[in-house]
Every structure is written in structure tokens, then in C-alpha cells.
Chains A and B, each alone.
Chain A
Amino acid sequence: MVYDVAIIGGGVIGCTIARELMRYPIRAVLLEKESEVGFGTSKANSGIIHGGHHGSPKTLKGKLEWLGNQMWDTICDELGFGFKRIGELTVALTEDQLPTLDQLKQQGEEKGVPGLEMWDQERLLREEPRLNPDAIAGLYAPTTGVINPYEACFALIENACLNGLELVTDSLVQDIDQTDDIWTIKTNRGEFPTRFIINAAGLWADRIAQMAGVQPFTIRPRKGEEYILDKRLMGLVKRVIFPCPTPVSKGILVIPTYDGTIMVGPTAEMTDDKEDLTTSVAGGQTVFQMVRQVVPGISPRDCIAEFAGLRAVTETEDFIIGSTDKKGFINVAGIQSPGLTAAPAIAEMVGDILRDEGLPLQPKDDFVPSIPKPIHFVSLSTDEQIALTQKNPHYGRIVCRCELITEGEILDSIHRGARTLDGIKFRSRAGMGRCQGGFCTGRCMELLSQELDQPLSQITKRGGDTWIVREREEVAK
């Protein structure tokens, strides 16, 4: 049996494409090398749905940014994950930065981005009193929003699977062959014959293209370190705060995440290692030093966690989206910022490319656009909590004390596909708070062990060799 479409890569791009394609009556599979979707670049994404004005309309990414931005409201409504258009401010600290702000505003207006406003110092400091009092002006964009990128991946894939997608995790693509218009993807989990391949392999998209023998390109990783601050700083700033951009970078941002936690970063350092997720002393120093120029009250002492992600960067710095010199092989590569923002627009574009390439896509009648919304116990009213815990006592037991996450929510995460501690953490927030899993790791492991019928020694942080504990007897040997 031959698939119509095989998507390689379960990042936010692969997941968005998968969900879009499942609107149509096709047979599709998504191959992901990690244990769960979103575990590569996507989980380390800043989570910003960019306002639409940052990218030049001359670039593909600049065009797709604004298109994608406008599509997120519907997706979030349908799939029930959080999205808040909190707005952003690009802040000028010196007179010579003002022309850059003007230029950004003009660019946004040309693209049709509504609501851009230039705020003077008085307005700026009234709206965001924690900004550097020397800030002289700010460009306000109401269209900017925040989501949790991993939540988007999980919700999109859950919905895609509900509509018939086959998801195969822990499957590393080893080789790709083409015979008579049929591609065969060889993985450690078997062979997948397909008419079309969507190469959404992120950092490894160049390697996949090479396996398929299409025109080569190179993806280089650019690392970004992010630092998460203690929840008690919630509300420090209300909007995403950008410094005035330079030709090389958008700079270090202050991001109130969807959950309200303040995150600062990212750095931007080229690296040659596609697995280099290290954080560094220099990275931390850069982040805090830069960010304190704009919001002086931020201190490294408030840091509760840090991580790094790798952007997939092409030679041209633009996206590579389109068919190739071999029929049926479509690249969706080099998706760096604003890739998350653009993702829904990219997915539609991929649908159009498939049609052009000869795959008829007629909407199916039984497409289900939504999934059951996960319960977030602590945000319910007392009456709702009482009713829920009477119906399902698992919601009455707090497992994660920092984020007040119940056993019911953790079980729900597992039933929706969490297979690892990170999978639980990114779905339910258990272990994401200031104790970073110090108290709840043991219980989360027990629940995984119970639901997946695996011994504790086989439970991992994020798949592969990321085991947590060993049997006594094993160590004694």
C-alpha cells in the first residue's frame, strides 16, 4: 500500500502541514526521528507570533509572516490551545535608532499590518513602566501574539491523527529511493512507499534532500539561548519587548510567554554541530547584559531555567519551499524566524504545490476540525473544581506543586500521546516551575510507568538514551 504523502519531520512545520493535508481524503504518514513531535527546534522556539511587519515583503518569509499571523486565531480556536495577542514594542534608546523604527512602521503599513503606532517616551513609560526610563520612543504592534510552540505541535498532530494521519515516532530516515514515480523511505522502523515526500526535516533537511538526490542546499544551525525567569516576575512587561533591530539581528527580547512567565533571549551564534544544544556562560552574560539595557530590573538571579535551540538557516537566509527537479519531492526547508508565525501559510502553500504536482485535493466531508480541550485545573472556578474532582478524583491530587498540576492532567497528557517526562512537561507544565521537577519527577515517572506498562528504568526524559534511573541490581554489577 502506497501513501499519497509522507512528511519527514514533526516540528511545527511538519505538524501544521499534516493537519492541513488531513482536510483531504488522502493517505498520509509523518515520520519523526524523536520520541515525540516538536522535540527538535520547535520546543525551543520563543513562541512569538510575529506582528507581520518585521520581514521585508521582498522575501518569501516576509510575505508568509503576515499571511500566517492572520491564520492563528482560527487554529487556536479549533484546537483549544492558548494564544494571546499581547502586542509588541520595539524600543529606541537613542535618536539614531528612530529612522529604523520609522522604516519598520512603513514596511508594516505597506504589507497591510494594521494598528502600528509610534509611541513617545511618555506613552511608552506609562504603558510599560519597567522599561529603561531613558527609552525615547517605541513602535507598538498590536498584532503580535504568543503561544506555546510545543502545545501547538501536540494539538496539531493530535487533530491530524484524529483525521487519519499515521504518526511514526522514533523513526530515523536512513535512505530514500525513487522507482517509477514511487518513493521509498527507509527508516529504522521499516519502509514507507509514497507518491509525494514533504521534506520538513528542519536542521536535517539538507541531508534528506541529499538522500533523495535532488538539487543540494546547505542548512547551517544558528544557536539561540533563552533564559526563563521566576514566575513571581509575571507582569514585569505586558508586551513582547524588542530592542531596535540591527542589520544582523532582532536582538535580545523580553517575552511574556503565553503562561505569563518572563523569558529573555535568544542569542544568535552560528555553530557547525546540529546537536549542539549547550548553554554557555558567554550566552547568559550576553542575554542579561543586553536585556538590562532595555528593562534594567531584570537580574540573572531570577533565572529558573535555561535552554538552547538551533535555527535552520540557508545560505540566502530565506525559506526554501517548493517542488524540486525530481517529481514528488517537495522541500520545506530553512524555516527559521518567523517560521512559527508563517507555519499555517506555509501549510496552505504546500497544499497548492501538491495540487500543481498532480495530487487532487478535494475537501472531505468528515474532517473534524477540533480536539477535546485539555483541562487546566487551577484556572477553573471553585465550583467547577468541586464538580470535576467528584467526577474524576485524579483531578484532586496535586502532583506538580509549583504549577499546581493535578494527576488528572498528567494522565490526560499521557493518553494524548506523552511518552516521556518532557512530553508530560510540555503538555501539562508539570515540572516546568521553579523547582524544575524536584518534587514531581518521581510521581510523573510512576504514572508513565503505570500507563505505558514499562519499568521505571525504561522511562526517559525525552527518548533515546536519556534514562533517569537504573535498577539496583544493574548498578551492583
Chain B
Amino acid sequence: MITDTISHLKKEYDVVVVGGGPAGMAAALGARQAGANRILIADREKEAGGILLQCIHPGFGLQHFKEELTGPEYAQRFLEQVLETDIDIVSDAYILDISADKQVKLMSGSQGVHVLSTKAAVLAMGARERTRGAIRTPGTRASGVLTAGLAQKFVNMIGYLPGYRAVILGSGDIGLIMARRLTLEGVEVAGVFEIMPHANGLNRNIVQCLHDFDIPLHLSTTVADIHGTDRVEKVTVAPVDENFTPNLDKSWDIPCDTLLLSIGLIPENELSRQLKLQIDPVTSGPVVNSMMETSMDGVFACGNVVHIHDLVDFVSQEAFLAGSNAGAYVTEQRPPGDNIRLVPGENVRYCVPHTISTDREHTVYMRVKRPMEESVLRLGDVYEKKLRFVLPAEMVNLKVRPRFLENFHGDTLRVDVVPCED
């Protein structure tokens, strides 16, 4: 059932899922399959689907559905699966708080504040974009500096364009997608500038969104200044040295009225912080065990709220797992706890989950710090796997099987990605 009417909801749920994007929907389905009966998805927008609804480009679902879908199509497939069950979706509803005894404070856009109770909760609030303040780009306070995702919303959802001539700072996927989208809409895109020596988006997006449209990508180059009193009039771009300091002697100006920022995402963790969950400073998301359970008993988390994924397919997979474990929690079939802590080592920024068990199979997601051609992924000295080519922009995932750990007796396992020796 999908509703925006609070009186249609139950007073008590087994599992409340916070967020109706791809993570939330997969988590609810996971909980249902694990035997939870009363499941509620609370979504703050008028329609479930999350940020996928503004991603009208194709490229979703190749892993999960083995076919190429647009964002809204991918969301629709999950929504249909949810609607085939008796899972409740409440739209236009915001979860303000979850208390220690699992009282959920829910605010409806049309009917005000209500309190429900639940046995377990799954956090699936997604992520938000980093802004100019985070990178402290110098210059004026001109209008026309906005995140790529906001521009995407203006263009795809509201039906307006952000300007006439744009420069894009950062080569994150949304920026690459928007370079193509704006070009198709008749906005001139002067170029994409990336401070790192490598692109931050998926390789396929570099090819399909930039190369195919002759949009230049300038690596190791950044926006060093923004000009214009009222509206952006031009930006100064400059190559950077090894400390990422712009070399202003080699800078040049680009006339434009719009500067799009695609400089990364950060998990949206207002609620997690309010619940005082333990947060990993590297991912900025909650610390989770192999059941995707946070430091608060019965509160699970999945998707971009835990760590930033590159493909929605992996979000669905991770969220299904989180949901199943929330289901197992309420049906009291929770497996025994973890006994190994994963520690990011050489060229590994983080691993999710943060702990695993020697008894079960796990998928461990990680990101590397820098690109490496031929490399080896090592789990302590118990297991190693050759990797072709690793990039910070592309998540590495590893199936960890119980047999890898048969002869391991410690409680921490270091994860390294090192150059291949032969």
C-alpha cells in the first residue's frame, strides 16, 4: 500500500525503513523475505524512488537486472515488487527521531507529527553533495555556483536550465552526466576540471558523456577563482602542483555564467548523529557489522548513508542484506555476532562492513586511495586475489568465504591493495 494518510498506517511495525529510494525499497523487500510481517517505508518526497527519479539517463541495472534501465525505470521495478507485498509506503513523511525504545517520531507533510513503534529500523537516507564551502573555492559570492545534482533537479524535474554557459568542477558521475545533459539542452559546456590526476567518475561516463560530445576533461586542474558581482561572469582555472596548489602563472579565464560542482557525496547522517550512532570518520557513515547493524541495537543501515556507492545495483544488494537482517532480528533468528574486525591497510581507504564473521560468507566493499594497474588484494596473510586495475572512483568488492579464514585465529584482519610482484 502506498499512502500519504497517517490514519491508514498501523500503530506498531516490525521494521520501519527510513527512506524510499533504492536502498529503502530493497531493505523492505529483504525484511519481508526474512519473515518480518509489518513493514513500513517512510519517504519524505511525494513519490518513492529517491534520487533515481531525477536520473533520467540510462546505465542502471546492468548488474542486478542484466539490462540497461533509466533511473526511474530501475526505481519502478523495485516499487512494483514492493507493491506486490503488503509493505506500507508512507510518502511526504519525515522521520524526525527514533528513541532507544524504538518509538518513531514521524512527521507527515499534510497531517503533522505522529508517533509509531517498531521493533527494528533500517536507515536508508542516502547522501548529499559536497558544496563550495567544503573546498573553499575563492572568489565572489555570485549567483550561479551550484551542485550538479541541484542543476539536474532544475533541468529534469522542474523544467528550467541553470544558465547559458557552464564550467564543471569535479569529475564525479553526476557532473559527467550533467555535462552531457546540459549540452543536449543547448547549454554550452566549456569543460570539466578535475583537481586529481585521475577522473572521479566511472570510465564509461567519461567516454559517453564527455568524449562523445567533445567536452574537454582537464585533469590536475582546478577552479582557482570565481568572478562576477551578481551572477558568475567567468572563472579562473589553473593547473595544480603535487600539493594541489594552483599554479596561477599558468592560469586562464573562462567566460561562463554557471559553475557546477561535482566534487563528491557525503552520507546524509542527521538522523544517525541524533541517534548517537558510532560514525566512521572516513566514510562519514555509521559503523556497521556484517549484518549491516549499527552501534544501536536493532538499527540497521544501508546504501549511501553508510558509504558512497558507484552503482545503484550494489546499493540494492547491500540494502537487501540489511533488510533481511532486520527481519531476522525481529523474528529472533539473528545469527551469532562477528569475530573479526577489518582494518584498512595499504591503499585501502575503508572497508564496509567494519566487522565480519568466520562462519558466514560476506561481500566486503572497499575503495582504494589511488589508481593501481596490476595489483593484489590481500586479507592479512590468509587470502589474496589479483585485481586488474583499481581506481578510487570504482568500488572494489570481495566475496569473503568461510574457507578463506579456516586457518585464521586472530581478531583483526588487515586489508591491503599492493602492486603485483610478478
Contact = CB atoms under 8 A, between A and B. Distances in A.
B88 interface: no
A461 B147 CA distance: 15
A428 B138 CA distance: 26
Given A306-B136, A393-B112, A475-B186, A442 B131 contact: no
Contact of A442 (B111, B112, B134, B158): B158
Contacts of B147: 438
Nearest to A407: B109
Interface string A428-451: 000000111111011000100000
Contacts of B131: 304-305, 434-436, 438
A439 B128 contact: yes
Contacts of A436: 131-133
A277 B140 contact: yes
Interface string A271-300: 000010111110110000000000000001
Given A303-B136, A402-B270, A465 B230 contact: yes
A382 B115 contact: yes
Interface string A387-424: 01110010111100110100100000000000000000
A457 interface: yes
A466 interface: yes
16 contacts: A300-B136, A304-B133, A385-B113, A389-B111, A389-B112, A393-B110, A397-B110, A398-B107, A402-B270, A457-B160, A466-B143, A468-B162, A469-B154, A469-B160, A471-B160, A475-B185
Interface of B: 44, 92, 94, 96, 105, 107-115, 128-129, 131-134, 136, 138-143, 146-147, 149-150, 153-154, 157-164, 185-187, 224-225, 229-231, 266, 268, 270, 273
Contacts of B185: 472, 475
Contacts of A279: 136, 138-139
A464 interface: yes
A467 B164 CA distance: 12
B164 to A, nearest CB: 6
B132 A389 contact: no
Contacts of A371: none
B212 to A, nearest CB: 21
A467 B150 CA distance: 15
Contact of A396 (B111, B139, B153): B111
Interface residues of A, number: 58
A476 interface: yes
Contacts of B140: 277-278
A470 interface: yes
Interface in A237-276: 275
Interface of A: 227-228, 232, 275, 277-281, 283-284, 300, 303-308, 382, 385-386, 388-390, 393, 395-398, 401-402, 404, 407, 434-439, 441-442, 446, 456-457, 460-462, 464-472, 475-476
Contact of B161 (A283, A386, A438, A472): A472
Contacts of A228: 133
Contacts of A393: 109-112
Contacts of A470: 160-164
Most A Cβ at <10 Å: residue of B159, B161, B273:
B161
A434 B147 CA distance: 13
Contacts of B161: 469-472, 475
B273 A232 contact: yes
Nearest to B150: A438
Contacts of B132: 305, 436
Given A393-B110, A396-B113, A382 B105 contact: yes
Chain A interface, >50% SS class: mixed
Nearest to A282: B138
A305 B136 CA distance: 7
Q: Which of B96, B109, B132 has the most CB of A within 10 A?
A: B109
Contacts of A303: 133-134, 136
A351 B292 CA distance: 66
A439 to B, nearest CB: 7
Contacts of A284: 136, 138
Given A278-B138, A460-B143, A470-B160, A438 B112 contact: no
Contacts of B111: 389, 393, 396
A386 B114 CA distance: 7
A389 B160 contact: no
Given A396-B112, A402-B270, A404-B96, 11 more contacts: A306-B136, A307-B141, A308-B141, A438-B128, A438-B147, A439-B150, A442-B150, A470-B161, A470-B163, A471-B161, A472-B160
B133 A467 contact: no
A278 B225 CA distance: 9
Contact of A401 (B110, B143, B146, B268): B268
Contacts of A467: 143, 231
A467 B142 CA distance: 10
A283 B153 CA distance: 33
A470 B164 CA distance: 8
Contacts of B138: 278-281, 283-284
Contacts of B164: 470, 475
A439 B185 CA distance: 22
A304 B132 CA distance: 8
A386 B107 CA distance: 9
B270 A435 contact: no
B109 A464 contact: no
A303 B160 CA distance: 30
A120 B27 CA distance: 56
Contacts of B158: 442, 446, 456, 469
Nearest to B268: A401
A476 B164 CA distance: 9
B112 A390 contact: yes
Given A382-B113, A435-B131, A472-B161, A465 B231 contact: yes
Contacts of A442: 150, 153-154, 157-158
Contacts of B115: 382
A3 to B, nearest CB: 30
B159 A472 contact: yes
Given A398-B44, A401-B268, A306 B133 contact: yes
A283 B225 CA distance: 13
Contacts of A469: 154, 158, 160-162
A466 B231 contact: yes
A475 B187 contact: yes
Given A398-B107, A470-B160, A435 B129 contact: yes
A386 B113 contact: yes
A404 B4 CA distance: 20
Contact of B134 (A304, A441, A446): A304
B11 to A, nearest CB: 15
B96 A438 contact: no
B92 to A, nearest CB: 7
Nearest to A389: B112
Contacts of B230: 464-466
Given A303-B133, A465-B231, A396 B160 contact: no
Closest 8 pairs (CB-CB, A-B): A389-B112, A465-B230, A305-B133, A397-B109, A469-B160, A466-B143, A461-B143, A436-B131
Contacts of A281: 136, 138, 224
A461 B105 CA distance: 34
A397 B105 CA distance: 13
A312 to B, nearest CB: 18
A226 to B, nearest CB: 11
Nearest to A281: B138
B94 A398 contact: yes
Contacts of B163: 470, 475
B266 to A, nearest CB: 8
Contacts of A308: 141
A277 B226 CA distance: 11
Nearest to B182: A475
A389 B107 contact: yes
A280 B157 CA distance: 35
